[in-house]
Structure 1
Amino acid sequence: MSTATTPAQEHQERWQKLCRDPALQDLPYKIETNERGQVVLSPPKTAHSDLQGRILDALRKARLEGRGLPEFPITTSGGVRVPDVVWIPEGRLEEITETGDPPTRAPNLCVEVMSESIDWSEMGEKRALYLKAGAEEVWVVDKDGAVRFFRKQGELEASELVPGFPERV
């Protein structure tokens, strides 16, 4: 008798296979998968990387208990997505990673930096996937460094998770 896998397990298995693929080891791209398990590549840009660094610096300055990490893979119902920056409170990383690799549970905060290859409609889909996977807030940073804050209920004027976080990085 065969054991049925869940869509999350299928995404995790596909991701593990991609991680072992020698042809993908040295690609200079951020890799994600979509809901069908197809590979989505995003070439890095200097300005994008700079904004990731600024976000991490600002999170460190906020002196939160926890860790800010770049490019953290999350298994969602829409494939494995990789927010540009995440923040995880102390002690929660273990809880998150217990759900598999990549985890099916999102960190408390997921941050995406807009790029030329994604529009606001697509970004709305990513936000919804992170929130559904358990993120408390999702931030979207535009190419000029302006930060927009979101929860399940919609857009916020400011972050509730990181009070005082700047509206521009």
Structure 2
Amino acid sequence: MMDWAEICANPILRELPFKIQTDKWGHIIMSPATNEHGMYQAKITALLSRLIDNGIVITECSVQTREGVKVTDVAWASSSFIANHRGENPFQQAPQLCVEILSPSNTMMEMNEKKELYFAGGAREVWVCDKNGNITFHQNTGEIEHSELAGYFPNPVLI
């Protein structure tokens, strides 16, 4: 079993066209991503970069959870979060905003589990983008109508 640093450094794993995460036992989980998934990821990243100041947008952001390392498709972290956690790989705490884009291989049960893990790690909001660009916004108390971190975020996201 490899730890996260070894997984990231492995030249074979680095070149795979899959998103890599781990489960709570340290087993590697790979999920193939479609080009459409990448388009939504790029669009959400660009929009967040314009809409939220005083922080940074991160793609493929690794977060250590009680169920292994999970990798958000997009995340936003405040400047103070980055000051406190810069250099961690994976982050030992979830950034304030974690965004998951559904892939054909994802289930809602899996997304609900990831939401819970990100909230347990300190996330303030978790968004889920479906295959049509529709986003559901969530706080740890449940679904909300729009983001409080990026209130003017367009929904749906058009690509």
What is the TM-score when the length of structure 1 is the normalising length? 0.87
After TM superposition, the structure 1 = structure 2 runs for residues 141-152 of structure 1, keeping only pairs within 5 Å, are: 141-152=129-140
Q: Please give the alpha-carbon distance, in whole angstroms, between the structure 2 residues aligned to 1:27 and 1:62.
A: 32
**SS of equivalent to 2:123:** coil
Percent identical among aligned pairs is 38
| Equivalent residues, number | 157
Query: What does 1:66-81 align with in structure 2 at a 5 Å threshold?
Result: 66-81=55-70
| Structure 1 runs not aligned, ≥5 long | 1-10
Q: 127, 141, 146: which one pairs with 1:153? A: 141
Q: Tell me if the contact between 1:68 and 1:87 (Cα under 8 Å) persists in the aligned partners.
A: yes
Superimposed CA distance per residue, residues 91-119 of structure 1 (whole angstroms, 9 cap, x where no aligned partner): 32121236x42121111000000111111
Match of 1:19 in 2: 8
Report what 1:166 is aligned to.
154
Q: Is the alpha carbon distance of 1:22 and 1:54 closer, same or farther for their aligned partners in structure 2, counting shifts above 3 Å?
A: closer
Q: Report the Cα distance in structure 1 between the residues aligned to 2:50 and 2:149, rounded to whole angstroms.
A: 14
SS at match of 1:71: strand
Q: Secondary structure at the match of 2:143?
A: strand
How far did 1:63 drift?
4.3
Taking the aligned partners of 2:13 and 2:49, their CA distance within structure 1 comes to: 32
Give TM-score, length-normalised by structure 2. 0.92
* Range with greater deviation from structure 2 (18-27 or 130-139): 18-27
- 1:113 paired residue number: 101
Between structures 1 and 2, the one with greater strand share: 2
Segments of 4+ moved more than 4 angstroms:
none
| Superposed CA RMSD | 1.6
